[in-house]
């Protein structure tokens, strides 16, 4: 292999005139983080609602939750993003479709919502398992005290269920960050996208993707560490692995 290594490339100006190649990667990182955080918020909100619905006695709620989860988890993420980005605007009435296509930052919003819904199915299933793992008597005790179903979930079941599923939720947060890379296919210039353009401009493919890899590792290390702190912070004295 006749490859010309050049680690100094990061400090050379990029052809877009936006500073160095490193600046390019960092702007990609910023976009990756923005997309991931928004997607994670969406995943948590919708995942919580759908996860709770899957544990309610109501058949309708259960079926809604079932359909939501099976729809979003049984299709490849890539196909889902294509659906939202390329297919949905064509299916809508012409005016609405045109309006959607002309929205500023369309790749960003599509990626955040698309990844968010995809991940919400996974959060929902885990929350359902977390709630299901609580003793049946907990719900009964809450009910017997006169708490409504909503109050029972809010004050009794969910605080415990979320504590139980915190470790797997950490993995899902990491997956959310990594999954935003798929958005390169709808033109989002996030970290992977910027690494790719760096490669195309400079032909330093190994340097570009080594840098991207290290940045992903670093970000995920920060997430893992802070989730460990969160786990310890919400641990219950005397309970399982409490403090």
Partner 1 sequence: MIEISHVNKWYSPTFQVLTDCTTSVTKGEVVVVCGPSGSGKSTLIKCVNALEPFQEGDISVDGTKVNDPKTNLPKLRSRVGMVFQHFELFPHLKIIDNLCLAQQKVLDRSRDKAVAKAEQLLERVGLKEQAQKFPAQLSGGQQQRVAIARALAMDPIVMLFDEPTSALDPEMVSEVLDVMVDLAHEGMTMMVVTHEMGFARKVANRVIFMDRGEIVEDADKEDFFGKPRSDRAQKFLSKILSH
Q: Which positions touch partner 1 (CB under 8 A)?
A: 135, 137-138, 140-148, 151, 155-156, 159-160, 163, 236-239, 242
On whether the CB atoms of residues 26 and 191 are closer than 8 A, the answer is: no
Token pair 């004295």 is at which residue?
A: 237
Rg (CA), the chain: 22
Residue number, 17 or 237, with CB nearest to partner 1: 237
Min CB(237)–partner 1 separation in Å: 5
Where on the phi/psi map is residue 106: left (φ > 0), alpha (ψ -120 to 50), or beta? alpha
Residue number, 114 or 130, with CB nearest to partner 1: 130
Nearest to 115 by CA among 182, 174, 51: 182
Residue number, 148 or 226, with CB nearest to partner 1: 148
Residue number, 165 or 174, with CB nearest to partner 1: 165
Min CB(149)–partner 1 separation in Å: 9
Min CB(65)–partner 1 separation in Å: 22
Residue number, 222 or 236, with CB nearest to partner 1: 236
Gap between the Cα atoms of 100 and 42, Å rounded: 20
CB atoms within 10 A of CB 40: 25
Nearest to 221 by CA among 173, 187, 152, 154: 173
Gap between the Cα atoms of 110 and 3, Å rounded: 38
Gap between the Cα atoms of 227 and 170, Å rounded: 7
Min CB(163)–partner 1 separation in Å: 7
Min CB(145)–partner 1 separation in Å: 4
Min CB(143)–partner 1 separation in Å: 6
On whether the CB atoms of residues 114 and 84 are closer than 8 A, the answer is: yes
């Amino acid at each position: 292999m006749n490859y010309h290594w050049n680690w100094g490339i990061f400090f050379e100006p990029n052809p877009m005139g936006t500073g160095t190649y490193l600046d390019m990667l960092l702007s990609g990182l910023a976009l990756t983080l923005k997309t991931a955080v928004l997607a994670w918020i969406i995943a948590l909100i919708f995942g919580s609602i759908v996860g709770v619905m899957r544990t309610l006695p109501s058949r309708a709620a259960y079926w809604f939750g079932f359909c939501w989860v099976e729809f979003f988890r049984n299709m490849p993420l890539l196909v889902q993003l294509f659906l939202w980005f390329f297919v949905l605007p064509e299916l809508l009435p012409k005016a609405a479709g045109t309006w959607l296509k002309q929205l500023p930052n369309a790749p960003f919003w599509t990626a955040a919502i698309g990844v968010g819904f995809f991940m919400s199915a996974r959060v929902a299933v885990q929350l359902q398992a977390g709630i299901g793992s609580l003793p049946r008597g907990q719900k009964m005790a809450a009910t017997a005290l006169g708490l409504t179903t909503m109050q029972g979930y809010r004050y009794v079941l969910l605080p415990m269920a979320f504590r139980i599923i915190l470790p797997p939720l950490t993995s899902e947060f990491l997956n959310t960050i990594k999954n935003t890379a798929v958005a390169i296919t709808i033109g989002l210039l996030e970290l992977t996208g910027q690494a790719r353009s760096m490669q195309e401009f400079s032909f330093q493919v190994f340097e570009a993707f080594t840098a991207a890899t290290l940045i992903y590792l670093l970000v995920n290390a920060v997430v893992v560490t802070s989730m460990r702190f969160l786990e310890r912070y919400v641990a219950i004295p005397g309970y399982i692995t409490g403090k």
